[in-house]
Structures are given as C-alpha cells and as structure tokens.
Chains A and B, each alone.
Chain A
C-alpha cells in the first residue's frame, strides 16, 4: 500500500483552556499520557495487592497493621481471610492484565507515538480517542468500587469461570455485587479498547505521510497496528461474554449454568447452560489478549535496541512478518488453557499443534535480536538495559511454554505454580520491561526533560535480579506439584516448600520497593530533570525530528516527507552514524 495522498488540513483545532488541554483532550499525546497515568496508578495498586498476597502465604496468621481498618470484613483484625486472599488475587490479575498491560504499552505509548511515527498530525478519530480513554477510566472506577461492596470484591479470579462467577452470592462472599461490578467494568473496558483499536487501524492505513510506505513504518508502529487488529476481534468477543454473564447473574438466564446445581444447600433455578461455553468465549479472547500485552513491548524493545545498537536489525521485514504470524496463530491456540477442562481430548491435541508452532516465529524474533547484537555497538543506558532485560525474560518465559503446550505434560503442570511462573515471566516481567524501556527512552520526548540515569540503572539492576529471584522459583514449585490459587498452604505436602515461598516473598518486597525509585525518578525528572534536546539518543524515526515536547499538531505547519526506512544506522558516508527518516540524504537502501 502506498502512502496517503492527502493529509487533512487540521484534524482538530488547537486546544484552549484547562479542560480541553488536560481533561477532555482530543490530542493523542495527552490521551496517551492519560492512559499511561492510569496504568501507573493501576500497577502500583496491583503491586500492593500482590504484596498482601505474598505476605499472607508466608505469614498467614499475621495481623497486618492498618488492613483491618481498610477491610474490616475481608481482614478482621488485619488477618486476611481465605475469601479476601482470593479477591486480592482476582483484582491483582484484573488490574494488571487489563489496566496495565493493555493500557500502557498499547494505548499509552501507541496513542502518543503512532501518529508521530507515521508523520500524522493526530489520530484519524480524535473524538473516539477521547471517548476511548474516558470509557476506560470509568471502567477502572467501576472496578475499584468493587473493593467497597460490603460483601467484598469478586473471588473468581481474573478468569471468572462459570458457574462460580455466574450463580451469584450463594457461591460465596464477593460473588454478589462485587462480581457484577467486575463484569460491568470489563464490558466497559472492551468498549474503550474497541474504539481505540478502530482508531489505530484507520490512522495507520490512512494518515501516513508522503513517502511513508507500510514497510517504512518503524517496527513499533507495526506492532501497534498488528495489536490493534488482534484487539478489535478479541475484545469484540469478550464484550458479549461479559454481557451474557451479567444476564445469567441478574436476569435469570442460563448461558453458563446447567440444571441440578446445589450451592450452599440451595438448588439453583437454572437449566441448559454450559460452563465450558464461558471458557471458550473467555479464552478465545484471552489468548490473543496476552499477545496484545506482549507485541507492543516486542515492538518497543526492537525500536530501542536498534537505536542503542547503532545498527538495524538483521531484517526488519522478518521481524514484522513474524509478529504478523504470531497475530495470526494467536487465534488458533486458545484451547491450550483448557486441555483438562473436560472438552473433547481430541480437541486438546488439535490445539497443541498451533501452540507448539507459535514457538517458531517467537524464536525467529529472539534470534533476530540476538543475531543483530552481534557486531553492534550497544550504548548502555536505562532504556537499552531494560530492552536487553526484556530479551532475557522473553527467553525465560518462552521456554516454559514448551512444557505447557503439550497436553500430556499439562496433565501434571496445569494449575500449578509452573503456569504462574510462565505467565508472570512473559507478562509480569517481560511486558513490564518493555513499558519501562519505552518510558526511559521516550520520557525526554514526552516531557522535554531527561530522567536521572543513575537512578534508572539502580532501578534496572534491582528489578532484573529481583524478578528472576521471584519468578524463577515459581517453576521449581510447579515441578514439585505446588497448586496455585491457594490462600494458605495447610497440607503436610507443602511444609518443605515454605522456605522457597519465604524467599520469593522477601524478593517481592525488595523488588517492589525498588519500583518506588522509578516512581520518584519519573516525578522528580518531570519537574527538575535536565532539559532534553530534540534527539538525545541520535535516533532516526520521526518523533526525534520534532521538539521535546512536541507542539499540539506534532509537526507544526509543515507536513513531513519520508525518504527511507528508520533503520539507517552505521551508514557509510553519512555525517553521523545515522540518517533521520525525513532526511533526503542518499542512503544505500530502504
């Protein structure tokens, strides 16, 4: 596809007044920052919840000071009850997967940088964009409200399997209005994401600057584009699933509930539904969702690495096609979450083949990174350290997938800490590293100031070692048969494993505390950081050709023209060791 022939004169008027500039902004940059800010609040909330969980697992009888006042039903006297642990677990997962991992790398950085990287003035639909953020914000508020329900927040996990999540409060505390609010929050979140994905797709296809062919877009732009294609289809399935769940809960329907269930001594008045239907609908969304969480980070890391290495990847095209294959294959594998769910065991085998096959593009991506590092001149800084850390985490998280992709091994490892280790490595660490790398890289552009590099590196080293200390042992626990989602380990079987859990909890507290260094750095640099030049990293893509921070219409009055791809590093004969994408300087190829 060629570049856009016509650029609209002005997508929207220059913002005036506090409300238009900072609250109901139509500017993709402000919206991106709003998403990022929301993700920041969500990640610290999610982290604190995980601290309570890790504390309770190791010291179950401890009275946590202050918690009794915040949660008098869930933690009377500060001692976490079994149901409160499960609601911490549910809210931790929901906040992290939806409000952090879908928000920050995709809606946050994507909103901010996709239009700039393709040379556009703003997104194609600025009003949709604003609505998508505020819908997401309302979804967040609805979710947090669940903490204040007297009966408690939901306890069915971020996966909310039926019939536990569908029969209502007979099934336990937190399954009354807490679960209703959860389903409503996620439904709203889906709407926000659908609006956002539409915007990304339309913008990428229609608003590229002159000379910006699809193959000349930076890899992270491709990652956001592929992610939004996945998101459009995935969230379109989760939204009706949540609505059906709400109907079962509030309107007496039985999509997910069969007859004859006796819950809490009460025969439930439902018939004809299928619990497996919920699982299929949820995981049909849920598996592509994890690629929505990781692909933007793959794009960001590639982008940062290229700049840091002062050389292009071995092949950007291969990287892009690999991301596309992952996007395509991601639709065929959802049943690997359901190998022992009671679905036809032949289906389990069928699902395992595309699951194993996804290893190939994932390996290609990893080998492209590794191979590109050969012969490079890596500039080590906080951004590049987190990008390199990402590669390490992607490998670690990825290889545990080999095990879980095979149904026969999954018989033993399903629902153990091995699974928890796997997804935390890829999502809880690798994807977060992608967000952090992007933050350190783009903070100068977004705020006009540099972050403190020393604090950034301290943050990196504690986080890198710390997350390995937390999540590598999860795999060992799983191999021994440590079951997940247990609020306490009361069995004799678990007694010898408690020292491992203690080690993990302490590592989690230390690593979590180190994130406060990052938070301090972020806030302090925003107001007191050294003033940033236009192109502090000597990078080539279009965001580095405009002021830091950019003006409201990104490129001012002039529309950029692009002459080649953004990988012109180490170019023979050029003035520096790089050529910017909008520079007409002759280059070898691109």
Chain B
C-alpha cells in the first residue's frame, strides 16, 4: 500500500514537472503599448533617382522611417527593454541579421546583445558602405561591393548606435546593443511583451530614435502580467 502510494506520488510529481516544463518558462510578463500624442513630423518619400537599380525596386517610393506609426496613434520601431534589474547575459549563438536591400536597411532598428555576431549583407546591385556612428564602441565603416560575402562584426559595450550608408545619404537605421535578452521592438499596433521575468524589481525603458527614451519601474512577484504603457510626445518638425 505504502509503496503503491509512493509510486503514485512519484509519477504525479514527474507529470507535474512535465506540465511545468511544457507550460514554458516561469516568471512574470511586462506588456503594454507604446503610443504618441501630438503631430509627428511628416515622413517624406525618398527619391532614389541617383541609384536607378534601387529606384526601380520601389515603384511607389518608400518614405523615411524616423517616425513610423500604426493605427490608433501606435508608435512603431520603439525598443522596449529591461534596463535595470536583470543580470547581464552572454550572447546567443545565432547572428543578428541586417540587410541592405533596395537601398534600405532591413530592419530599420536591429536589436541584439553585447558580443552577439552582427551579420550585414548586401542584396543590391550597388556597393554600400555601412557606417555605424557609435560614441562608446569602436567606430568602423565597411564597403560591400555587390555580390560580396556578408560582414560579421560585434560590439562589446551596450549602446544605441545610429547607422548610415556613406554612399546613399537617405539610408539610415539603428543598432540597439543590449546587455540581456529581455527586449522587444514595437510594430503595427504598438504592442510589446517581455516575458520570463523572475520575481524582482525592474526598470523598463522605451527608446525611440527621434523622441528619446522613457523609463518606468515595475515589480514582479510571481507569474503575473504587469501592464506598462508609454506615451511619447510627437513634434511636427
């Protein structure tokens, strides 16, 4: 009798573990939306006529992407991340990919971690010369003739780094080099979700390339979801 009960408890415990393992990471979630108020600056169409091989890839010209908005005043391309309260993490194995295509940087904002490999590729028929402009990290620029192999680089300090192309002045993007893996980039409706946070006190920061950054503190005690929203002030100029 006692042995049978022991087996039952043991199997139930194993099953519970399995449930817990299959149920995903434990911990709380911080989620919310990033919106703006006011009138954002107009995003003007980009005239790529000086580079015909790119111009023809955009029958309707793309616009600059310094302020990208979504429905209901959603603000996109905002990097939301844990800026304090979480331990630093070592870089994941896979590379963060940044593509030069149609004389545009894709994605416009690329988030990756300190010492994570950044892989830059050129899908265009023209040379590009990518020039990130860090203030803290080492500055470099590299030419990539058409058809050349991707470039691998990495940054060893956290920083938000504007990126430009030396050859095509309208090409701008951003690198966000962060210390841990708790980050998201808003798109569409402006929502974000940072999951898997162990109990503790955290500072959540939202960064936008034109509107700066804002931070809010949040405390996670268990597996709850806390809502944090950010509202940025938009300016017409």
Q: How far is the CA of A77 from the CA of B166 in the complex (A)?
A: 21
Pick from A81, A264, A265, A492: contact of B145, CB under 8 Å: A81
Pick from A82, A172, A264, A265: contact of B127, CB under 8 Å: A82
- Interface presence of A76 (CB below 8 A): yes
Q: How far is the CA of A289 from the CA of B133 in the complex (A)?
A: 41
Interface residues of B (CB under 8 A from A): 52, 126-127, 129, 131, 133, 141-143, 145-149, 162, 164, 166-167
B143 lies within 8 A of A83 (CB): yes
A264 lies within 8 A of B166 (CB): yes
Q: Please provide the 9 A-B residue pairs with the shortest distance between their CB atoms, ordered closest to farther.
A: A81-B143, A79-B145, A79-B148, A61-B147, A82-B127, A77-B149, A82-B143, A265-B133, A83-B143
Q: How far is the CA of A339 from the CA of B218 in the complex (A)?
A: 68
Within the complex, what minimum Cβ distance (angstroms) separates A176 from chain B? 11
Q: How far is the CA of A101 from the CA of B84 in the complex (A)?
A: 65
Given A77-B148, A79-B148, A83-B143, the answer on whether A264 and B126 have CB atoms closer than 8 Å is no
13 A-B contact pairs sorted by A residue (CB < 8 Å): A60-B145, A76-B149, A79-B145, A80-B145, A81-B127, A81-B129, A82-B143, A82-B145, A264-B131, A264-B164, A265-B133, A265-B162, A490-B126
- Interface presence of A173 (CB below 8 A): yes
Q: Which residues of A contact B129 (CB under 8 A)?
A: 81-83
Q: Which residues of A contact B146 (CB under 8 A)?
A: 61
Closest chain A residue to B162 by CB distance? Answer: A265
A172 lies within 8 A of B166 (CB): yes
Q: How far is the CA of A383 from the CA of B149 in the complex (A)?
A: 51
**Assuming A81-B129, A81-B145, what are 19 further A-B pairs, CB within 8 angstroms?**
A73-B142, A76-B148, A77-B148, A77-B149, A79-B147, A79-B148, A81-B127, A81-B143, A82-B129, A82-B143, A82-B167, A83-B129, A84-B143, A173-B141, A264-B164, A264-B166, A265-B133, A488-B127, A492-B52
Q: How far is the CA of A77 from the CA of B145 in the complex (A)?
A: 10
Q: How far is the CA of A173 from the CA of B127 in the complex (A)?
A: 15
Contacting B at CB under 8 A, from A146-179, are 172-173
Q: Which residues of B contact A490 (CB under 8 A)?
A: 126
Q: Which residues of A contact B164 (CB under 8 A)?
A: 264-265
Within the complex, what minimum Cβ distance (angstroms) separates A369 from chain B? 48
Closest chain B residue to A56 by CB distance? Answer: B145
Within the complex, what minimum Cβ distance (angstroms) separates A238 from chain B? 31
Q: How far is the CA of A76 from the CA of B162 in the complex (A)?
A: 25
Q: How far is the CA of A488 from the CA of B51 in the complex (A)?
A: 14
Within the complex, what minimum Cβ distance (angstroms) separates A276 from chain B? 26
Closest chain A residue to B131 by CB distance? Answer: A264
Q: How far is the CA of A293 from the CA of B167 in the complex (A)?
A: 37
Contact digits for A56-97, partner B, Cβ 8 Å, 1 yes 0 no: 000011000000000001001101111110000000000000
Q: Which residues of A contact B141 (CB under 8 A)?
A: 173
Within the complex, what minimum Cβ distance (angstroms) separates A83 from chain B? 6
Q: How far is the CA of A83 from the CA of B128 in the complex (A)?
A: 11
Within the complex, what minimum Cβ distance (angstroms) separates B135 from chain A? 11
Q: How far is the CA of A264 from the CA of B167 in the complex (A)?
A: 11
Closest chain A residue to B146 by CB distance? Answer: A61
Q: How far is the CA of A492 from the CA of B49 in the complex (A)?
A: 13
Q: Which residues of B contact A82 (CB under 8 A)?
A: 127, 129, 143, 145, 167
